[in-house]
Amino acid sequence: MSTQPHEHIVKSYDEEQRHLIGEIVRMGLTAVAQLEAALDVVDRRDDSAARRVVANDESIDAAERRISHDVMLLALRGPMARDLREILAGLRIPADIERIGDYAANVAKRSIALNASPPMPHISGLRALGLLAAAQVHARRCAPTRTTTGRSPCRSATTTRSWTASTRPCSASC
């Protein structure tokens, strides 16, 4: 990929891309919070909190539908090859994040069933695996992307060069 900023003649396209990136980041933060809450529910054996985690999954599902709709509207603008790849990423990433939310809801549902039996020692590894997954999502959220100002998207909502450029781990604390 080019290291030069990728700006469009029609500035509204860039603005719509920035908006969608922000929505995807917010969706990812929500999914990670759900995952962490589900892991906490397993540890605390709290049925009412588990039901809240399951109920909150709908907000992630709604965000995925909304983002997919907005990305499709962007696709109707006749993107070129590079933009089309970014649009496809804009469809796939929210679907993956939505699955994280589904898994968090499934963990919370299973915790309700597990609470009916005595505590099981082999469940302790679940928290470590879940926190590792949450850390990976957080690292991708903070991944440095090239912006017109050179700042990370974690620090400001500046113009990003590419949706797909954010694949390297974050070196800054976000």
| Whole-angstrom distance, CA of residue 142 vs CA of residue 153 | 7
**Beta-ladder partners of 160:** 147
- Matching residue, tokens 């990929």: 1
| Cα 21 from chain centre | 10
Please tell me the predicted confidence (pLDDT) of residue 41.
Answer: 92
| Whole-angstrom distance, CA of residue 133 vs CA of residue 114 | 22
Length of the chain: 174
pLDDT in tens, 34-91: 999 999 998 888 999 999 999 999 999 999 999 999 999 888 877 777 778 888 888 8
Query: Which DSSP string do the residues of 147-162 spell out, in sequence order?
Result: BTT---TTT----BS-
* pLDDT surpasses 60 at 173: no
Domain architecture of the chain: domains with CATH: 11-141 (1.20.58.220)
Q: Which residue has the higher pLDDT, 5 or 157?
A: 5
In three-state secondary structure terms, 17 is helix
Please tell me the predicted confidence (pLDDT) of residue 166.
Answer: 39
Average pLDDT score over the chain: 76
The pLDDT-based confidence of 140 (bands split at 50, 70, 90) is confident
Which of 174, 106, 109 minimizes the C-alpha distance to 137?
174
Please tell me the predicted confidence (pLDDT) of residue 7.
Answer: 61
pLDDT in tens, 121-134: 777 777 778 888 88
In three-state secondary structure terms, 138 is helix
